[in-house]
Copies of this chain bind each other. A is one copy, B any other.
């Protein structure tokens, strides 16, 4: 995927894409819940100015805010006729296994025939689908598979700058908010005059930032090398906020998590979780590992490479009332003696403060 960022006063600090020409319709048809449609939600949150509409035939007439809890008055439409100015169809979901829902095929074909580009983060590549690829060639449009990559370099551990602070978000589970915490933390550090950069490692982060590496789709031998390459490229910044993936205790994706942890060698980690979640996302029969066990597991695994510690906890409290969220925050603060916040509800100030303290500590060594 080519870099589509353009510098601007607000976005100059390597945060989000500012390519207004994408003019996107986000496809979530029949899958418009915030967990499955997390790509849609995050693109709406950070790139709303580029989104014309959300397409969900089951909810046409609503606003994106009503349907997905974000995106303001962006309309939900039933077909592409309702968005004649659109130039891009963005596949807005991230289902387990990453496959395209069958009933979406005619919608995608319709978009292609209208001359729209299609942007997808699924494991199943549009460009390798003969029907889509043929239609795209006929229409002269671009099929962009964000997860497609040709990473074939191993990690080398050469050239890492000691004065560039690396902060990795880690999680109790998938879909707890690691990407959002990384972006909000970057934003808070920039607001405090630090040259910080968000490093995108997943399909949604890449769609937002306009660059990055889809590490869960890299061949296993090269995952740490692919991460290292991104770190080396970002070292002209003071702080790198690296988007975490999965969980060390996830039955499916723990390998991705460890490859990212060992490839990025963070000085500090921010542990993210969703308050109230009991089971692994998508695997209701498998209970979550406790935060305490996971904190130890992450620190032990990270320390196999270099000294690293959890410096704060990011709580996703979307399911809780204000009162319950406050109780939860106090309970977790008490248990871990660390900064704890929900980056939306409380803002990320406690976490950015913890990052700056670590930065000072490391620079004074």
Contacts and interface: CB of A to CB of B under 8 A. Distances in A.
Interface of A: 96-98, 123-124, 152-157, 215-221, 223-225, 248-249, 251-256, 258-259, 262, 283, 285-286, 289, 293, 296-297, 300-301, 304-305
Contacts of A98: 221
A283 B157 contact: yes
A12 B155 CA distance: 41
Contacts of A248: 258, 301, 304
Q: Which residue, of A96, A124, A293, A300, has the highest number of chain B Cβ atoms within 10 A?
A: A300
Given A123-B221, A220-B216, A155 B252 contact: yes
Given A123-B221, A154-B253, A293-B304, 14 more contacts: A98-B221, A123-B152, A123-B219, A217-B221, A219-B220, A220-B253, A220-B256, A221-B253, A221-B256, A225-B252, A248-B301, A251-B262, A255-B258, A255-B262
Contacts of A297: 300-301, 304
A256 to B, nearest CB: 5
A253 B249 CA distance: 18
A181 to B, nearest CB: 21
A154 B254 contact: no
Contacts of A255: 220, 223-224, 255-256, 258-259, 262
Nearest 9 CB-CB pairs, A to B?
A255-B259, A216-B221, A249-B304, A258-B258, A154-B252, A255-B255, A220-B256, A223-B255, A155-B252
Contacts of A252: 154-155, 221, 224-225
A156 B255 CA distance: 15
A54 B305 CA distance: 39
A223 B220 contact: yes
Contacts of A221: 98, 123, 216-217, 252-253, 256
Given A293-B304, A301-B297, A155 B220 contact: no
Nearest to A226: B220
Contact of A220 (B97, B215, B293, B305): B215
A35 B332 CA distance: 49
Contacts of A215: 220
Contact of A97 (B152, B216, B251, B259): B152
B155 A259 contact: no
Nearest to A97: B154
Contacts of A286: 157
Contacts of A123: 152, 219, 221
A259 B286 CA distance: 18
Contacts of A124: 152
Nearest to A221: B216
Nearest to A259: B255
A13 B139 CA distance: 56
A348 B223 CA distance: 35
A322 to B, nearest CB: 33
Contact of A254 (B249, B251, B259): B259
16 contacts: A97-B152, A123-B219, A215-B220, A218-B220, A220-B223, A220-B255, A221-B252, A221-B256, A248-B301, A251-B305, A254-B262, A258-B258, A289-B304, A293-B304, A300-B300, A301-B301
